[in-house]
Amino acid sequence: MSVSITVSALQSQPEARTVEAGTTALTLFGDRTVVAARINGRLVDLTTEVAEGDVVEAVAIDSPDGLNVIRHSCAHVAAQAVQSLFVEAKLGIGPPITDGFYYDFQVPTPFTPEDYRAIDKAMGRIVKEKQRFVRRVVSDDRAREELATEPYKLELIGLKGNSDATEGASVEVGAGELTIYDNVRRDGSVAWRDLCRGPHVPDTSYLKAFAITRSSAAYWRGDQANAQLQRLYGTAWPTKEDLVAYQERLAEAARRDHRKLGTELDLFSFPEELGAGLPVFHPKGGVLKRVMEDYVRAAHIKAGFSYVGTPHISKEGLFHTSGHLPYYADGMFPPMDDDGQNYYLKAMNCPMHNLIFKSRGRSYRELPLRFFEFGTVYRNEKSGVLQGLTRVRSITQDDSHSYVMAEHAADEVKHLLTFVTNLLEDFGLDDYYLELSTRDTEGSKSTKFIGSDEQWEKATAILEQVGLESGLALVPDPGGAAYYGPKISVQAKDAIGRTWQMSTIQYDFNQPARFGLTYTGPDGHPAEPVMIHSAKFGSIERFIGVLTEHYAGAFPAWLAPVQVIAIPVAAEYDDYLAGIAAQLTEAGIRVEVDRSDDRFGKKIRNAQTQKVPFMLIAGEADAAAGAVSFRYRDGSQNNGVAIEDAIAEIIANTRPPQR
């Protein structure tokens, strides 16, 4: 018996084929760079048999789906290796993640670097055995029998069909069935098994390049009330060359880590006395922060925004009106009681901007009305997700809200998008694309979102239209919208290719109605404005963290906390350089004179370590000639430069971007 199907192999057009019944996707492709298939749009194992009328597509190993398949398969191999080395280990979950995978275990003691090496070797042995991944559909009772010694797997079986079970792709949620994958040796014996949705590679020999990287504590199913497990992280790639390249990127990322550079450059710190996620900026970091604030404040005013200021706390009722309670309650700190009245630290500035809009009557002639402030907000982030400046609990936003007539909403979004892309380019982040965050397909049924289907469709269409007209890549992000409306975010790549979410533009059709905001329209009747949220830096703390890593601490001269350091060859030239430094200070240049007792060579090394853009050196010949010697951050040097020429060069090269 034969069946007719449509096949799309790698880099080829779909073609009709007739094949024998029982043919698998593995037989169709026979290419080890293909690790899975899509049959009628569903991602499946290559061992899946095709049926009459199926549309079968190859999934390449280096595609996003293909990478997830090899990483998920590696997670299984890692778990098998762990249980071969630590017989008391109990299995949690093991999903693929960006650039790798993890697997959670209950073990008596945390994993160590020596354990990582042992697990790597055990994984290598499993891979060499060419164990097959064999999928089986099982009943609940059968799954409980086979996994009777795995308490966390038994719990997942009880969650079948529940969204709480989705983490780790362990259960066929909503499919009404459970699946187990056996790792089968060449002699047919089962080496290991796991409750899993799959898909997986046909056998372990497809896994060519992997490594265990680190471990951490993790609560079962992310709930602090549950048991604390050990989360073992690893990475997996199509080739060893890919793995080496990734490890080199990791090493470079470690060298650029803003937490390390923040200490070395004396920019900021995280005192334990304050609590997790609460940074303080030191004088040099304060200069960097002030220069950035000065830039963006001037840019907002030039773009038609009015600067406003609002308090850090408010009575509870304001956040009920805005919808943050209950829709954003988990992200807010608990209330403070004042004689029976609850007050909350603000998590957003928008409710207070709405009160400013509402403080008096508004006319259509005032619109677009644009408010902006540096508002510090507070988010009750879980301690496990805090990461230096890029994930903090106190967030200073260059937060703005535009109130516009509905028919002008698209124009305002364009205005804001131009603003944010200009800003990113001025700060050297010129490789970016757009992401459109919307409700997911079930959004209209979800309590996570407010507003009607019609409102969501209209707002989404406007953002999509502006995004497409920008000429930038527009990537969908279903389910990523805020509760009050869709958003466009700008995703920027840094110097080593990592992508960061930066500026955001959000369409809000809910808060104006909730606050009763109106303006008098051209016809003399009241009308409701559309509200558009935008944060250009997003979070200034996060932006500083990203910039620090992007530039590896060697900030552009206009941003550098210290732009010039004057280094005398000997102490008798201190005053000579101090006079030049005074002229530079008068011109607005940030300059220091190194009067320390360090030897001259040590002073040069100190300036280089601090990544100062310009060093001015003076000795006897320079002083006699009314000159200085220039030394640049890259180590090059220009001797005997006249003072006025040196000052002119520094001023020309430290000007902030002009638009």
Please name the residue that has the structure tokens 């051209």: 522
74: annotated active-site residue: no
Ramachandran angles phi, psi of 309, nearest 5°: -145, 140
Q: Are 287 and 293 in contact (CB under 8 A)?
A: no
**Residues sharing a CB contact under 8 Å with residue 550, sequence separation 6 or more, in sequence order:** 256, 428, 429, 494, 495
Helix (H, G, I), strand (E, B) or coil at 228: strand
Write out the binding residues: 350, 401, 533
Q: Are 201 and 132 in contact (CB under 8 A)?
A: no
Q: Which of 350, 508, 603, 610 is catalytic?
A: 350
338: part of which helix (H) or strand (E)?
Answer: strand 336-338
User: Angle at CA 281, nearest 5°, toward 279 and 283?
Assistant: 165
User: How far apart are alpha carbons 531 and 406 in whole angstroms?
Assistant: 9
Asked whether the CA dihedral 151, 153, 158, 164 is positive or negative, the reply is: positive
Asked whether the CA dihedral 454, 460, 463, 467 is positive or negative, the reply is: negative
Token pair belonging to 613? 């853009």
For 534-555, b/e burial (b = at least 16 CB within 10 A) is bbbbbbbbbbbbbbbbbbbbbb
Q: Side by side, which strands form the sheet with 15-20?
A: 15-20, 2-8, 55-60, 34-39, 42-44
282: annotated active-site residue: no
**Residues sharing a CB contact under 8 Å with residue 292, sequence separation 6 or more, in sequence order:** 537, 540, 543, 544, 559
Find out whether the peptide bond into 326 is cis, omega within 30 degrees of 0. Answer: yes
Q: Which of 115, 398, 399, 594 is catalytic?
A: 399
Q: Are 48 and 34 in contact (CB under 8 A)?
A: no
Q: Torsion angle of alpha carbons 527, 531, 532, 536, nearest 10°?
A: 130
DSSP 590-631: -EEE--SSS-HHHHHHHHHHTT-SEEEEE-HHHHHHTEEEEE
Write out the binding residues for Zn(2+): 350, 401, 533
154 by Cβ neighbours in 10 Å (0-12 / 13-18 / 19+) ranks as middle
- What is the number of residues in the chain? 659
Q: Which of 231, 379, 415, 611 is catalytic?
A: 379
Q: Are 46 and 56 in contact (CB under 8 A)?
A: no
610: annotated active-site residue: no
Long-range contacts of 285-291 (CB under 8 A, 24+ apart): 285/544, 285/561, 287/561, 287/562, 287/590, 288/544, 288/555, 288/559, 288/561, 289/540, 289/544, 291/558, 291/559, 291/656
Residue among 510, 462, 514 nearest 488 (CA): 462
Q: Which of 76, 256, 362, 487 is catalytic?
A: 487
Q: Are 91 and 105 in contact (CB under 8 A)?
A: yes
362: annotated active-site residue: no
User: How far apart are alpha carbons 87 and 96 in whole angstroms?
Assistant: 24
Helix (H, G, I), strand (E, B) or coil at 375: strand
Q: Which of 132, 284, 353, 533 is catalytic?
A: 533
399: annotated active-site residue: yes
Q: Torsion angle of alpha carbons 534, 540, 543, 547, nearest 10°?
A: 140
Helix (H, G, I), strand (E, B) or coil at 584: helix
Instruction: Give the rounded distance of the alpha carbon of 168 from its chain centre.
Output: 20
Q: Which residues are catalytic?
A: 350, 379, 397, 399, 401, 487, 533
